[in-house]
Amino acid sequence: MTKNIKEAKRVYMDYAATTPMHTDVVQAMIPYMSGMFGNPSSGHSFGKEARAAVEDARVQVASLIGAKVDDIVFTSGGTESDNLAVKGIAYANRDKGNHIITTSIEHLAVLEPCRFLQTQGFDVTYLPVDKYGLVDAKAVEKAITRRTILVSVMYANNEVGTIEPIVEIGRIAKSKGVYFHTDAVQAVGHVPMSVNELGVDLLSVSAHKLSGPKGVGALYVRGGTKITSFLHGGEQEHALRASTENVTGIVGLGRAAEIANGEMATEPRRIVKLRDRMIKELFDRIDGIRLNGHSKVRLPNNINVSFDGVEGPKVASHLDMAGVAVSTASACQVGHKGPSHVLTAMGYSETDAHNSIRFSLGRESTADDIEYVMEVLPPIIDKLRKASHR
């Protein structure tokens, strides 16, 4: 029994939930798990070699997003980066105002800190999106008041892959003198970006979405930004994030950033080709299918579709039995019951939102993977449709 499961074909198409670590990332991390174990704050040679590794990683991450090296703060992941950005700006700038603007399709790592801040006397505007998941930059402009201190709009949505008009919003925020944060967790390492071209003051990164380890990330904080730490203790990370640095994880993030940077001219293009091929096959071979999100301004690796009359979780579960891993909503929203807040914000009915599934591709994805999925998926949809008509 177990033997059969082991030998069965397995295809991973859930890279937006997490990615396997690149073997070079693993190799880079190994020395820092044993021999090179020093504390980067120690003055002796063990500490110095750990410090050097952390600072090399800072250069690698900065170079991936076109940032100044000193503007990178290492954190425990995307969630902490988002929390630090939103709460850190809110508390540090309370004297200027108490209004924050965000969108209704953000990841919970932004939405929940915003909801928390509402219990602390802050006002939050949750901007709507259109049927493709796009935020209107003009709506951001209209929502800004004299009390607005922060605009937080994600670079690309984790469920439907829609890429937001960050450059336009950045220009607006700058002209109004309001801090601008973007949660770029799904985009960093997958599309080229530069913090200056984007006009952002803060940008969140998570290592495990770009072939790096889990539990480590970074927040870009433009020099001169007024921001408060919420982890008090030592002076690590410019006193913005107390605690001994996760040296091994940071080294992994740095190496992952370097690899992504080196492959930026080729890998996203390869993934886009695979994605478009899979979308075409899906539409050619299955009736009653709809692509969720924008067809053009979309992450290279995201395919979110709904099949008429078939529940997403049932499709995902049958695919899983056939060895294919996909997702029905954000993996980070485990425990969050009900339809996707992203699709409902895009105007979907509860039923339509429930019918969606997300395929997300990555470095190890191949044309063979797509072929296999296209072999097993049409009969699954057929079977489920027949069963629902009984």
Provide the token pair at 15: 């890279």
Residues in the interface with ligand PLP (CB under 6 A) total 16
- Phi then psi dihedrals of residue 141, to 5 deg: -60, -45
Q: What is the helix (H) or strand (E) element at residue 360, kind and residue range?
A: strand 356-360
What is the rounded CA–CA span in Å between residue 107 and residue 159?
9
What is the rounded CA–CA span in Å between residue 114 and residue 348?
24
Q: Are 268 and 365 in contact (CB under 8 A)?
A: no
What is the rounded CA–CA span in Å between residue 265 and residue 386?
45
The interface with ligand PLP within residues 203-242 (CB under 6 A) comprises: 206, 208, 217
Is residue 330 near ligand PLP by the rule CB under 6 A? yes
Is residue 183 near ligand PLP by the rule CB under 6 A? yes
Question: In the complex with ligand PLP, which residue's Cβ is closer, 109 or 381?
Answer: 109
Sign of CA dihedral 247, 248, 253, 258: positive
Is residue 71 near ligand PLP by the rule CB under 6 A? no
Minimum CB distance to ligand PLP, residue 304 (Å)? 13
Provide the token pair at 379: 């009969």
The interface with ligand PLP within residues 149-168 (CB under 6 A) comprises: 154, 158
Is residue 75 near ligand PLP by the rule CB under 6 A? no
What is the rounded CA–CA span in Å between residue 203 and residue 153?
10
Q: Are 290 and 305 in contact (CB under 8 A)?
A: yes
Q: Are 163 and 302 in contact (CB under 8 A)?
A: no
Q: Of the residues 332, 345, 357, 380, which is catalytic?
A: 332
Q: Is 332 a catalytic residue?
A: yes
**CB under 6 A: which stretch of 23-31, 132-140, 183-191, 193-201 binds ligand PLP?**
183-191
Question: In the complex with ligand PLP, which residue's Cβ is closer, 190 or 314?
Answer: 190
Is residue 360 near ligand PLP by the rule CB under 6 A? no
Minimum CB distance to ligand PLP, residue 195 (Å)? 17
Beta strand 148-152 with 99-103 is parallel
Per-residue contact string for residues 96-135; x = within reach of ligand PLP by CB under 6 A: -----------x-x--------------------------
Question: In the complex with ligand PLP, which residue's Cβ is closer, 98 or 206?
Answer: 206
Minimum CB distance to ligand PLP, residue 93 (Å)? 22
Cβ-in-10-Å burial (0-12, 13-18, 19+) of 387 comes to: exposed
CB closest to ligand PLP, residue no = 78
Minimum CB distance to ligand PLP, residue 207 (Å)? 7
What is the rounded CA–CA span in Å between residue 133 and residue 159?
10
Question: In the complex with ligand PLP, which residue's Cβ is closer, 109 or 315?
Answer: 109
Is residue 340 near ligand PLP by the rule CB under 6 A? no
Q: Which of 73, 185, 329, 361 binds ligand PLP (CB under 6 A)?
A: 185
The packing angle between helices 367-389 and 267-285, to 10°, is 30
Is residue 77 near ligand PLP by the rule CB under 6 A? yes
Neighbours of 295 (CB within 10 A): 10
Provide the token pair at 176: 């109004």
Output DSSP code: residue 205. E
Question: In the complex with ligand PLP, which residue's Cβ is closer, 214 or 277?
Answer: 214
Q: Which residues are marked as active site?
A: 332
What is the contact surface with ligand PLP in residues (CB under 6 A)? Answer: 77-79, 82, 107, 109, 154, 158, 183, 185-186, 206, 208, 217, 330, 332
